[in-house]
Copies of this chain bind each other. A is one copy, B any other.
Amino acid sequence: MVTPRCIVVRHGQTEWSKNGNFTGVSDIPLTQYGISQVHATANALFEDPEAPTYLDPNHVTYIFTSPRSRATHTKDIFLEHIPEKHRSQIKVIVDDDLREWEYGDYEGKLTHEIIALRKSRGLDQEKPWNIWRDGCENGETTEQVGCRLSHVIARIQHIHSIHLNQNKPCDILVFAHGHTLRYFSSLWFMSMFSSGIVQNKLVSTNFKPQTNYVGFQNITKEEAERDVPFVALEKFYYLNDNPWFMLDAGGVAALSYSHNKISEPSLMLSGIFNPRATK
């Protein structure tokens, strides 16, 4: 029995990530350094695909990616490192729910510029700005980000559940961004806590289920909507504080399940780094 994993990958460096500009909807490409960074990561992961140390390409079922080119380019570089016979088996879904936090008025700005802007508008007089609680003016609130990421998690756990029941390996790769992936990782396991920085909100019965897939590879739109359906939620989760995670550009983290139970989503502390004994 192989426990399913969700392996999240932050895109490589861009000019804006290098300089600290908040990059939400803007479609900023990888730098040359960012490209080589992702090659180095993918190479370390798939160095010998016939005797994989960290990730067996044959166990990868689906890739979910943000539509932004810095994420899809990172995904393409990863796929280049996987032999064709495995690559053609991996279904890729471009999921708009994985886009970066919509920063609204703060798009392209540096942290100190955002702080100054908010101050000039009379905000943050009692405590400093915390995006994980306060969100962005004319951009997304933390409830909005939590809602769409809770739905992505539900879709992925649904696929994991089916594979686990059939006793089939199922590693799913997720390519996205600094804020959304730290957010996504927190919701994955901290929603198990009975109290704390993860809150839950009941979903209105008027809530209209929809999928937000905007691209496909090795799978048709119809197959995607059938095999990776929208999962209706009774409630969704969102953060009210910084989860205090670090995830550098090009970084890879791993989420899984304790005791092989889908009802016990957990964080793998060592990420993807689990070399196997060879002797």
Contacts and interface: CB of A to CB of B under 8 A. Distances in A.
A193 B267 CA distance: 17
B270 A247 contact: yes
11 contacts: A41-B275, A43-B275, A44-B53, A190-B244, A193-B241, A196-B197, A245-B267, A246-B269, A251-B270, A268-B271, A271-B272
Interface in A181-196: 181-182, 185, 189-190, 192-196
A189 B270 contact: no
A244 B267 contact: yes
A132 to B, nearest CB: 11
Interface in A255-279: 256, 258, 264-279
Interface residues of A, number: 52
B271 A270 contact: yes
A241 to B, nearest CB: 6
Interface in A118-169: none
Interface string A27-39: 0000011001101
A273 B244 CA distance: 18
A244 B271 contact: no
Interface string A44-60: 10000000011000000
B279 A194 contact: no
A193 B192 contact: no
- Chain A to chain B: the 7 pairs with minimum beta-carbon distance, closest first: A196-B196, A271-B271, A36-B279, A253-B269, A251-B270, A37-B277, A273-B273
Given A40-B278, A278-B40, A258 B244 contact: yes
A244 B189 contact: yes
B39 A279 contact: yes
A105 interface: no
